[in-house]
């Protein structure tokens, strides 16, 4: 069996990746310091003989006994509410954590993948965003701790690829949603669903005209799986190019939940991107990948989950 280490394993994306690789008959080693992750997300995997869990902070030295074929570095606070509250930890997991895991990959001769993000493009001046776009990021703004941690992570990964000839992969993840998102993680869809279910006002930042492109989690996991096994070391966007306004997303959630909630508008946070849409030409051509789950179906599946967990 191939052995894979997945950091951030108890998080939203990490736990879905653990599920996928277990289903593909890999031996999966999950690692998480539970800063933002939850053991509830991987509790169903704990009895599985092909899954093991290390409670560990990757900014400290990382040791995993035995051979490793792959390392997926998905550990990081990933929502504004988290990285604004934990700016130093966010920078450290992107820098020290990445360095530690690249060292482990080099020692084990393992293929290494990082979870980068559409946030490397900042508040983009090019639309939609192709991988060649260098971005428009404020390095000292409130979002800079996340944006620059991910940009450094990409630079460090490419340096190991070019200098040490390490096999590396970089996935730039656009807005993703689905079951196991935290109710209180501050991102748009968890906030909309939880507020609508409770009958609270739906908080929309700005006038709601800013856009996002929402990709259902199973589509994202498929793209990540294909990229890991492809022969391509430069960054690739994985996301759904179907772009909508935040106001439209809120209204669709309201209609689905059939809630009495009303939209409430708040000031737009500093440096909040006005547009976000991936150019997925490379994913289509290189990975033969494109999203399959419609927003209607994805929202319904997500609503089914939030109905159970929203108190």
Q: Is cis: bond before 128, omega within 30 of 0?
A: yes
The radius of gyration computed from the CA coordinates of the chain, to the nearest angstrom, equals: 19
- For the chain, helix, strand, coil in percent to 5 are 40, 20, 40
The DSSP string of 40-70 is: GGTGGGTT-TTEEEEE--TTS-----S--SE
If one counts every other C-beta atom within 10 angstroms of the C-beta of residue 171, the result is 23
CA distance 305 to 252: 16
Rounded to the nearest 10°, the torsion over CA 130, 164, 33, 65 is 140
Distance CA 73, CA 234 (A): 16
Angle at 161 between CA 64 and CA 50, to 5 degrees: 30
> Could you list the active site residues?
146
């Amino acid at each position: 069996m191939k052995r894979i280490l997945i950091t951030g394993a108890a998080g939203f994306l990490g736990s879905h990746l653990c599920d996928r690789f277990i289903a593909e008959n890999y031996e999966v080693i999950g690692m998480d310091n539970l800063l933002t992750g939850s053991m509830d997300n991987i509790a169903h995997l704990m009895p599985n003989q092909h899954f093991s869990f290390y409670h560990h902070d990757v900014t400290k030295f990382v040791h995993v006994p035995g051979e490793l074929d792959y390392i997926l570095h998905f550990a990081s606070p990933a929502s504004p509410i988290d990285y604004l509250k934990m700016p130093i930890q966010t920078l450290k997991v992107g820098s020290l954590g990445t360095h530690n895991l690249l060292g482990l990959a080099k020692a084990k001769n393992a293929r290494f993948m990082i979870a980068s993000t559409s946030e490397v493009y900042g508040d983009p001046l090019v639309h939609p965003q192709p991988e060649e776009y260098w971005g428009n990021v404020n390095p000292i703004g409130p979002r800079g701790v996340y944006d620059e941690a991910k940009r450094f992570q990409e630079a460090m990964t490419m340096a190991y690829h070019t200098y040490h000839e390490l096999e590396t992969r970089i996935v730039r993840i656009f807005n993703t949603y689905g079951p196991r998102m935290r109710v209180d993680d501050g991102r748009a869809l968890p906030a909309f669903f939880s507020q609508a279910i409770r009958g609270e006002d739906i908080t929309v930042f700005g006038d709601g005209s800013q856009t996002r492109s929402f990709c259902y989690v199973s589509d994202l996991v498929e793209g990540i799986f294909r990229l890991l096994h492809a022969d391509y070391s430069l960054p690739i966007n994985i996301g759904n190019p179907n772009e909508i306004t935040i106001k439209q997303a809120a209204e669709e959630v309201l209609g689905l939940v059939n809630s009495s909630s009303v939209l409430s508008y708040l000031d737009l946070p500093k440096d909040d991107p006005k547009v976000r849409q991936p150019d997925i030409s490379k994913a289509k051509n290189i990975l033969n990948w494109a999203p399959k789950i419609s927003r209607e179906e994805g929202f319904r599946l997500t609503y089914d989950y939030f109905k159970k967990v929203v108190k």
